[in-house]
């Protein structure tokens, strides 16, 4: 039997039929820190460099998460600052300046340098935002032309791992040029997607007749799009709350949409963008029909393996709500508990409204209580962080690492089958092991 849950009624999402019941958790967390985002962000922003100001632990995390690049010039590094007291902080700044001087002298292709804060106490004492301004004055406008130096925090104290991207994009927003107030409305696609997926979406926007379209983060610093009150932005990732606030402070307006996972999520996302630009519905249906059909056919192959299977998400990537929506409405899976580190009710309203009645939604983390519920619920599949997967597997649970869902191309029509495969594979593996 499931333990009794202290459910709290919170204001309903706009489209939810009944007040949303959310179990709020505050306890021990088991998540990667925001530095992890550098793994996909450095691939996306091709002339950026991420300089982590941190400890040996941070350096090890990055090396093991991203792999060691032997043949290419790496675009991330760690400046190790350890064992300094407050009296040594002046030295820290001087050392950081020396590292940045050397880096920029050697790597003339760098156009954006991110100083990424971390959680060792020595680093917390350093004001990296000020350091970035000081270094910008030296190397930016006044010195080597065209380099932008920004700071954000990837610290494990204040983040779960996808918040690293949110913090990075938030740091970019003030750098976006001001859009001409008389210019036609433009679309801003927000969230780092693999280039191949981004290109598919850009082609679809062009076919729909939506344009101009800018992308945040841009692949190159010089392509950072302009922004203003005529900008309508469309989130591709559900973990960009701070970025969204920063964009709205610059006048941009969010397009309310589900997230683009699966046939229906992607169709809803594209249709919402088209509606915001006044595109004729018949034309929209014509443009998206082939992709939607391809995605549906790809998903049908996975339905026998996934339909009726019970799934629990432990809070980790912040993709949990839209993925649970996708698995429930497009593949017939049964979400038991959907845990997410932070629940942005407005951004997730469309996906929340489609979760089956009775789905237990939890926000925040209390790892022991959540593991107790997994053991009581005995779902067929548990999506969780790397650190929890092994103990659960040892107890006989099939697991899926949530970080894989962030590292893999999973958005859009043409990735719908691959996304379903990520959930079907651990179930197949468990069946094989049982034989």
**Judged by CB, which is closer to ligand SF4: 61, or 147?**
61
Q: For ligand SF4, which stretch binds (CB under 6 A), given 118-126, 265-273, 339-347, 384-392?
A: 118-126
Cβ proximity of 326 and 348 under 8 Å? no
Q: Which string of x and - marks every residue 48-67 that binds ligand SF4 (by CB under 6 A)?
A: ------xx-xx--x------
* CA-to-CA separations, 80 to 72, 96, 149, 159, 337, in angstroms, rounded: 22, 10, 19, 20, 40
Which residues, numbered 4-33, are part of the site for ligand SF4 (CB under 6 A)? 33
**Judged by CB, which is closer to ligand SF4: 160, or 271?**
160
Q: For ligand SF4, which stretch binds (CB under 6 A), given 6-14, 152-160, 162-170, 346-354?
A: 152-160
Using CB under 6 A, pick the residue from 155, 160, 317, 362 that binds ligand SF4: 155
Cβ proximity of 415 and 409 under 8 Å? yes
Q: What is the rounded CA–CA span in Å between residue 179 and residue 186?
A: 9
Which runs of E-coded beta strand occur in 72-202? Answer: 76-80, 112-117, 148-153, 186-190
* Residue 176 interacting with ligand SF4 (CB under 6 A): no
Which residues, numbered 301-340, are part of the site for ligand SF4 (CB under 6 A)? none
- Beta pairing, strands 253-254 & 231-235: parallel
* Residue 120 interacting with ligand SF4 (CB under 6 A): yes
Q: For ligand SF4, which stretch binds (CB under 6 A), given 151-159, 207-215, 231-239, 349-357?
A: 151-159
**Judged by CB, which is closer to ligand SF4: 58, or 81?**
58
* Residue 80 interacting with ligand SF4 (CB under 6 A): no
Q: How far is the CB of 8 from ligand SF4 (least distance, A)?
A: 30
* 276-282 LR contacts (CB < 8 Å, sep 24+): 276/187, 276/232, 277/185, 277/187, 277/208, 277/209, 277/210, 277/232, 279/208, 279/209, 279/210
**Judged by CB, which is closer to ligand SF4: 57, or 359?**
57
**Judged by CB, which is closer to ligand SF4: 55, or 370?**
55
**Judged by CB, which is closer to ligand SF4: 34, or 291?**
34
Using CB under 6 A, pick the residue from 112, 118, 402, 415 that binds ligand SF4: 118
Q: For ligand SF4, which stretch binds (CB under 6 A), given 112-120, 252-260, 285-293, 361-369?
A: 112-120
| Residue 393, H or E segment | helix 386-394
Residue nearest to ligand SF4 (CB): 156
Taking Cα atoms as reference points, which of 319, 382, 329 lies closest to residue 355?
329
* Residue 231 interacting with ligand SF4 (CB under 6 A): no
Q: What is the rounded CA–CA span in Å between residue 341 and residue 362?
A: 8
Taking Cα atoms as reference points, which of 135, 158, 165 lies closest to residue 148?
135
Question: Dihedral of CA 371/372/376/377: which sign?
Answer: negative
Q: Which tokens in the block code for residue 375?
A: 């053991």
Taking Cα atoms as reference points, which of 245, 89, 235, 242 lies closest to residue 163?
242
DSSP conformation class of 133: H
Alpha helices (H) along 173-314:
195-208, 241-249, 262-276, 281-300, 303-306
Q: How far is the CB of 62 from ligand SF4 (least distance, A)?
A: 8
**Judged by CB, which is closer to ligand SF4: 119, or 299?**
119
Number of residues that bind ligand SF4 (CB under 6 A): 13
Q: What is the rounded CA–CA span in Å between residue 294 and residue 416?
A: 9
Q: How far is the CB of 63 from ligand SF4 (least distance, A)?
A: 11
Q: For ligand SF4, which stretch binds (CB under 6 A), given 154-162, 186-194, 302-310, 336-344?
A: 154-162
**Judged by CB, which is closer to ligand SF4: 81, or 287?**
81
Cβ proximity of 150 and 167 under 8 Å? no
Q: Which tokens in the block code for residue 121?
A: 């106490």
Q: How far is the CB of 29 from ligand SF4 (least distance, A)?
A: 11
Q: How far is the CB of 115 from ligand SF4 (least distance, A)?
A: 13
The shares of helix, strand and coil residues in the chain, as percent rounded to the nearest 5, are 45, 20, 35
* Residue 119 interacting with ligand SF4 (CB under 6 A): yes
Using CB under 6 A, pick the residue from 23, 31, 35, 384 that binds ligand SF4: 35
Q: Which tokens in the block code for residue 314?
A: 């432990």
**Judged by CB, which is closer to ligand SF4: 36, or 340?**
36
Interface residues with ligand SF4 (CB under 6 A) are 33, 35, 54-55, 57-58, 61, 118-120, 154-156
């Amino acid at each position: 039997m499931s333990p009794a849950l202290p459910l709290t009624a919170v204001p309903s999402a706009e489209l939810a039929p009944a007040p949303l019941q959310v179990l709020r958790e505050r306890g021990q967390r088991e998540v990667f820190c925001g530095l992890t985002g550098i793994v996909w962000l450095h691939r996306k922003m091709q002339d950026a460099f991420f300089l982590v100001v941190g400890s040996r632990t941070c350096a090890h995390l990055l090396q093991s998460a991203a792999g060691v690049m032997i043949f290419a010039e790496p675009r991330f590094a760690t400046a190790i600052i350890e064992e300094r007291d407050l009296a040594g902080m002046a030295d820290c700044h001087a050392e950081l300046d020396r590292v940045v001087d050397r880096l920029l002298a050697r790597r003339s292709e760098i156009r954006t340098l991110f100083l990424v804060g971390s959680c060792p106490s020595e680093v917390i004492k350093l004001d990296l935002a000020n350091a970035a301004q000081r270094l910008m004055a030296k190397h930016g406008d006044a010195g080597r032309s065209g380099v932008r130096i920004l700071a954000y925090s990837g610290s494990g104290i204040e983040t779960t791992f996808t918040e690293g991207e949110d913090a990075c994009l938030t740091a970019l927003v003030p750098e976006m040029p001001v859009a001409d107030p008389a210019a036609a409305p433009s679309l801003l696609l927000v969230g780092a997607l693999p280039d191949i997926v981004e290109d598919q979406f850009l082609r679809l926007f062009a076919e729909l007749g939506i344009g101009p379209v800018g992308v945040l983060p841009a692949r190159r610093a010089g392509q950072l799009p302009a922004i203003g009150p005529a900008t309508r932005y469309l989130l591709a990732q559900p973990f960009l709350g701070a970025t969204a606030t920063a964009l709205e402070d610059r006048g941009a307006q969010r397009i309310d949409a589900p997230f683009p996972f699966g046939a229906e999520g992607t169709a809803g996302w594209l249709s919402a963008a088209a509606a915001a630009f006044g595109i004729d519905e018949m034309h929209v249906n014509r443009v998206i029909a082939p992709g939607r059909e391809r995605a549906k056919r790809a998903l049908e192959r996975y339905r026998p393996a996934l339909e009726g299977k019970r799934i629990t998400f432990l809070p980790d990537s912040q993709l949990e709500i839209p993925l649970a929506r996708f698995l429930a409405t497009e593949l017939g899976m049964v979400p038991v508990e959907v845990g997410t580190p932070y629940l942005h009710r407005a951004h997730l309203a469309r996906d929340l409204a489609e979760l089956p009645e009775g789905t237990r939604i939890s926000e925040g983390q209390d790892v022991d209580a959540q593991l107790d519920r997994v053991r009581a619920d005995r779902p067929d599949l548990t999506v969780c962080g790397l650190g929890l997967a092994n103990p659960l597997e040892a107890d006989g649970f099939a697991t899926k690492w949530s970080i894989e869902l962030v590292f893999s191309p999973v958005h859009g029509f043409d990735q719908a089958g691959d996304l379903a495969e990520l959930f079907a594979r651990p179930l197949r593996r468990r069946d094989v092991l049982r034989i």
